[in-house]
Amino acid sequence: MVQKDDDGTGGLFMSIMVPVYIPSCFVGLCRQLLVEYVHEKTNKYRDLYKIMGMKLSNYRIAWFLTYIIKSIIIGSMILITILYKMEFQASFDVILCFMLFIMAQVGQTLLLSTFFSNSQLAGEFGSFFQTILSTFYFASLYKLDYLIYVCPQSIISYYLMNILKDSSNTEAFYYCVISLSIHLIVYYQLFNFLEEQVTNGGKFFGKCLWKRKNKTGYDQFEDQMEMKRQFDVEGLAFTSVEIIKLFKQYGDVIAIENLNLEIYSQQILCILGQNGAGKTTTLNILTGLIEKTSGKILYFGKNFDEERDEIQKLIGFCPQENLLYDQLTVKESLQYQHMMRGSESGSEIEMWLNLMQLQQYSNYKTNELSGGNKRKLQIALALVGGSQIIFLDEPTTSIDPESRRQIWKILKEIKQINKTLILTTHFLDEAEELADRIAIMKQGSIKIQGSPENIKKELEVGFTLTFGNIQSSQQQSQIKQLFHELDCSSGSKLEYDNIKYILNQNQLFSIVEKLNELNKIDNIKIQLIQNTLEAAYLKLNKDNLEDDQIIKEYSFPIKSTNDVKTRQILQIFALLYKKYYILKRNFTLQLMLVLPMLILLFAYFFGYHLLQSKDQIQFFVSLFISQSFSLNSSIFINTPILERELKIRQQLKQMGVSQFTYIFATFLGDYVIIFIITSFIYILSLQVEFLESEQLLKILTLFGLSIISFSYTASFMFSSNQSAFKIFPVINFLFCYLLPSMIDLQLQNQYSEFFTYIFPLYTLNLALQDKNQDQDYSIYFLVQFVIFMFLYQILEKHLILFENRKNVQDSNSKLQIQNIQFGYNQNKQVLKQIDLQLSPQKILSLLGPNGAGKTTLIQLITDCLKLKWGSIMYNKNMIISSCQQCEGLWEDLTAEEILYLYARIKGSIRNLKNEISQILRILSIKGKIVNMSGGQRRKVALAISLIGDSGIIILDEPSNGLDPISRRNLQNMIKAHVYKRNSSIILTTHDMDEAQYLSDNISFIINGQQPFPQQSSAQLIEQYGSGILLSIRAKNKEALDQVTLAFPKHQKEGLLIVIKLGNEYDVPTTIKIIKNLCQEDLIGTFTIKQANLEQVFLRQCRKQYDED
């Protein structure tokens, strides 16, 4: 038993707290290491470094050394205190043992990381595990001395306790050095072994023992590639990558099935397919980010499985999601990539900055960039360092059309310098512009491959001939009669007052005379558009396309309550259900709930059996109660930070959730959790005969109020949930409990009263140790609760819950924006004199390049930013829903559950089941959010904005990352929503076809300004468009002269002639001229492009780039 020595409290402190607290001081840092290392491993940062050329052994050494240095910094104060207590005797011995302990504990933590793929779960379990290990010191009291040497925590405690009693104890020193050295070697070697096992798919021994080292390696690849380049000089493309019978299966789901493909040098291969078709999985297998189930991959004739390390040095990879370090600047990120590749930085970095138009942002931190500029940086990182084979997974997502074209130009230039490029994209114009060859995937296999022209020819998509402004059924009959003999009736399609025919080139040329007859019918307008790759893609996937049927069926009538109290009750229950679902499904949160109870069980076990007096037991158990609450305090700080980070909190405000409703529901959910923990402590503590039962119950009940409100207020110290999860438990334990206790002990309670009003854990510890119940601590908890809840409400109102809106006066407008000006700092105005008006049942599109100010304007409308100048007017009681670029989704819920909760939050009380099932069917979404792809999550975010009864819906790039089929279904759904309900929509998009299809009015924002007032797309195209453009490529110089005679008004560049079609060249006349030129074999290819909104956008975009 531990005896109370002559020093009284000091002796008790030394004999109990030192063995526990010295290792505990490092628990927070080890927790941080676990969270960060597992986070990088799970998010593929580590694998990306390997593709960059970094040896994983060096990667692991870097982590090991970094956290040794951090541990030394933290441990230096403890070390100085111990040496001072010993009067600096045996300093070398103590320092050596302490250093070995630090290295062994870091090694132990890294070893623990190999068993986890969830960073939060790793952090929570690691904290618990290392806290429990510190109690092994007390094994000697059971005459189980050998258990002391099981872990570094108990070894260092045992050594320090012995050396403090007798500084000349050399036996303890030798035991400590030998055992810690063994631990260090075993932990680090096991860590390396297990990491290699995971990385190489269990082939560690085979790789290490049986791999031959003759003529392999990077130099051999360079020799082979140089030989291959000789074929290029002669104009013969060689195979860079060959894929043979590739197969990938996840459980019962087949992701890739018998995929065969050859990829050639100096070519761009574009892989197309719907979300979930297997594109990203294929790229991840080819780059080594994930393992295949079976099949073979050859790079330059070498097996990827056998020569992975050497091959990956040749690969550059731009992943679908940006993997950037927030605290590095743009230039530092490129320099870091160069160092990883072993290249010299300097001129090449400047080249990439200029090519990607990032020069002016070179000193910006990556988290300060717009979404488009982050994407540009990620592409640049894939290209630097001499990569030979470059994989680009949706490289131009979130980038405006002008920036896209700049990147296209860069990729074309890169292709010419012996590079092989493989990209996936959902922009079919991008695929048509860039790709030498295209492979279209469906359900894990390639359905068709070839050049864009060959794919269009094979799928028989040629031209769309549109007859518009049809006024009567008689005119309709005339048109159909003239086309009766032509075998294209299956391609005809009636759409309001238009009839469309899809024709191939031969059919088009055969009806020239008939078109002349139709052209004479009064008022009928004839338009001819050459079909793009999108038409071929849609034809191949037509079974997944829902078109007019959506508009006919969608949607069921919605009944929403207008009663304030009823809506408030619905909102409270919805938020409580959300808490229940998350706790039910999130194993990490469940562990955070259970582990503190297990720690208390250990504390009770040791305290009750090892300590003699009731005072000692009370002291020991209360210590662990405080430590338990500090470890699981992340539960309470998690919700407010995460929901602010994901913009859920602001979104709930726009949907009519008051501050009181939100705080009450969130607090009530958290209090139920802490009630479970406090009930367990109450039952356990009764066994120790702590306090009177009524007094203990009152302390624990009121402490719950205090610790939750304290956590909510402390949440404003953190900008991300990840950082709070790592740091807050450490802060809570060290600065809110341990440090005040130490100060209180040293200064004889001089600041006790002050600390008692500020720190809940400190107050709890005092209350639990007050064996005589001399003081009523309940008043302190109540004061803390009132203070912290008041502070939380004030901080929330001033930092995130802005109120920009005023009531609109004009009944014909749902939203009016007048003279808005805004800047993040005094040096640069982001928005300048913006004026907008949104009418009922209309769609207003905001268009502009990246960084123009569109997202800032949306954040002002949704009260995410504080308006400084101007006015935003709409009905204060109107529900506003938004689908913003940052999807605010609870990952542990299913799509159906999220839609149900948001519908209740908006006050919907009827037809919920029908509406939810219909939206899920149309958008093809199901399952839990955590298992969804980026495109699927985007659909859920859109569904949230459409569900229920919203007056204004704000869609910030809603189709970003969606395939063409999903995009088309989504667009039709948006149209139907506006048509069937009294909703108005504000839309931002980089897809000009989407804007042209959906918008009633359009406003451009260029460098924060409107170059002209909002107007319809037709007006913009008429005023600023380039008209209908006919491009003809003549076969030779002689043919060029003949073509220019046929079209006197033209622009010429080499063999290419561009003609702007107008009144002089109507459709029948133009087709007749082209037919004659083709028959005379003068034309190589020709294209016809309709005047569109993209032409207007590109002109306006260039103004911003010119100003920049």
* CATH code, domain carrying 496: 3.30.70.260
- On whether residue 300 sits in a domain, the answer given is yes
Task: Please check whether residues 275 and 331 belong to one and the same domain.
Answer: yes
Number of domains present in the structure of the chain = 6
Q: Verify that 762 and 614 share a domain, yes or no.
A: yes
Residue among 283, 265, 263 nearest 273 (CA): 283
Q: Are 834 and 870 in contact (CB under 8 A)?
A: yes
Place of tokens 């399609």: 493
Residues 473 and 440 in one domain: no
pLDDT digits (tens, 9 = 90+) for 49-77: 777 767 788 889 999 999 999 999 888 87
Give the dihedral of Cα atoms 921, 927, 932, 936; nearest 10 deg: 10
751, 780, 799 - which closes a domain: 799
Write the DSSP assignment of 500-516 as a string of letters. Answer: EEEE-HHHHHHTHHHHH
Tokens read off for 651: 């979104």
Bridge-partner residues for 499, per DSSP? 467, 494
User: Residue 385 and residue 49: Cα distance in Å, rounded?
Assistant: 13
503 and 364 housed in the same domain:
no
Element (H, E) at 1040: helix 1037-1046
Residue 581 is assigned to a structural domain of this protein: no
**Whether residue 402 is found in the same domain as residue 485:** no
Residue of 834, 825, 862 lying closest to 986 (CA atoms): 862
Task: Give the integer Cα–Cα distance in Å for 944 and 942.
Answer: 5
Amino acid identity of 21? Y
CB-CB neighbours of 253 under 10 Å: 8
User: Which residues lie closer than 8 Å to 742 by C-beta, 6 or more apart?
Assistant: none
In-domain check, residue 388 = yes
Is residue 490 in a domain?
yes
Cβ within 8 Å of residue 530, ≥6 positions away: 462, 463, 1087, 1088, 1089
Q: Which of 1001, 1038, 1007, 970 is nearest to 839 (CA)?
A: 1001
- 766, 799, 832 — which closes off a domain? 799
Task: With a cut of 50, list the residues of the chain below it in pLDDT.
Answer: 1-13, 202-236, 489-496
Identity at 739, one-letter amino acid code: L
The full DSSP string for 887-953 is ----TTSBHHHHHHHHHHHTTEEESHHHHHHHHHHHHT--SBGGG--HHHHHHHHHHHHHSS--SEE
Q: Is residue 696 within 8 Å of 730, Cβ to Cβ?
A: no
Distance between CA atoms of residues 41 and 877, nearest Å: 46
Identity of residue 111: L
Q: Strand, helix or coil at 471? A: coil
> Does 860 share its domain with 843?
yes
What is the pLDDT, as a whole number, of residue 466? 80
Give the tens place of pLDDT for each residue, 392-446: 988 888 788 888 888 888 888 888 877 899 999 888 889 988 999 999 998 889 9
What count of Cα atoms within 13 Å lies in the side-chain half-sphere of residue 100?
25
Query: Chain-centre distance of CA 498, in angstroms?
Result: 42
Whether residue 144 is found in the same domain as residue 233: no
**Interaxial angle between packed helices 45-52 and 330-341, expressed in degrees from 0 to 180 and rounded to the nearest 10:** 60
- What secondary structure does DSSP assign to 1003-1057, as a single string? EE-BTTB-SS--B-HHHHHHHH---EEEEEEESSHHHHHHHHHH-SS-EEETTEE
Residue 1062 belongs to domain with CATH number? 3.30.70
Pair 1073, 1050: CB distance under 8 Å: no
Strands 805-806, 869-873: pairing kind? parallel
Give the CATH number, domain containing residue 865.
3.40.50.300
Q: How far apart are CA 287 and CA 290, in angstroms?
A: 8
C-beta of residue 600 within 8 angstroms of C-beta of residue 681: yes
Q: Distance between CA 772 and CA 615 in Å, rounded?
A: 11
User: If DSSP codes are grouped into helix, strand and coil, which group holds residue 247?
Assistant: strand
Element housing 182 (H / E): helix 170-199
Judgement on whether residues 1002 and 1052 belong to the same structural domain of the protein: no
Amino acid, single-letter form, for residue 201? G
> Do residue 708 and residue 775 come from a single domain?
yes
> How far, in Å, are 291, 818, 851, 1095 from residue 542 at the CA level?
32, 45, 36, 29
- Smallest Cα–Cα separation from 995: which of 844, 820, 824, 819? 844
Cα 22 to Cα 134: distance, rounded to the nearest angstrom: 9
Judge whether 313 lies within some domain. Answer: yes
Q: Are 46 and 39 in contact (CB under 8 A)?
A: no
- Are 461 and 428 spatial neighbours (Cβ–Cβ below 8 Å)? no
> Has residue 1098 been placed in a domain?
no
User: Which residues have CB under 8 Å from 495's CB, separation 6+?
Assistant: none
Q: Please state at what angle helix 721-733 crosses helix 614-631, rounded to 10 degrees.
A: 160
Measure the CA–CA gap between 671 and 708, rounded to whole angstroms: 7
CA angle 982, 988, 991 (to 5 degrees): 115
How many angstroms separate the CA atoms of 892 and 894, rounded?
7
- Tokens 């197969």: give the residue: 247
pLDDT at residue 222, as a whole number: 46
What would you report as the CA-atom Rg of the chain, rounded to the nearest whole angstrom? 34
**Residue 1038 burial by Cβ neighbours in a 10 Å radius (0-12, 13-18, 19+):** exposed
Q: Give per-residue pLDDT as tens, 192-230.
A: 998 887 766 544 444 443 343 444 444 444 444 444 443
Q: Which residues contact 519 (CB under 8 A, 6 or more apart)?
A: 526, 1066, 1067, 1068
> Which of 736, 682, 627, 684 lies closest to 135 in space, CA to CA?
627
Contact between residue 668 and residue 816 where contact means Cβ atoms under 8 Å apart? no
The predicted pLDDT at position 369 comes to: 83
Q: Is residue 284 located within the same domain as residue 421?
A: yes
Tell me if 493 sits within 8 A of 500, measured CB to CB. yes
Model pLDDT, residue 846: 93
Structure tokens at 542: 């037509």
Is 890 in the same domain as 838?
yes
- 636/711 Cα distance (integer angstroms): 6
d(CA 175, CA 177) in angstroms, rounded, equals: 6
Compute CA 848 distance to the chain's CA centroid, rounded to the nearest angstrom: 23
Q: Phi/psi at 1052 (nearest 5 deg)?
A: -130, 140
Q: How far is CA 357 from the centre of its chain?
A: 24
Domain that holds residue 1062: 1028-1089
Same domain, 928 and 859: yes
Q: Which residues contact 88 (CB under 8 A, 6 or more apart)?
A: none
Residue at 570 is within a domain: no
Helix (H) or strand (E) holding 83: helix 56-85
pTM (predicted TM-score): 0.79
363 domain residue, yes or no: yes
Domain end: 962, 989, 1015, which one?
Answer: 1015
Q: How far apart are CA 973 and CA 597, in angstroms?
A: 50
Nearest CA to 1005 among 809, 831, 822, 827?
831
Listed in order, strand segments (DSSP E) in 413-489 are 420-424, 437-442, 445-450, 463-468
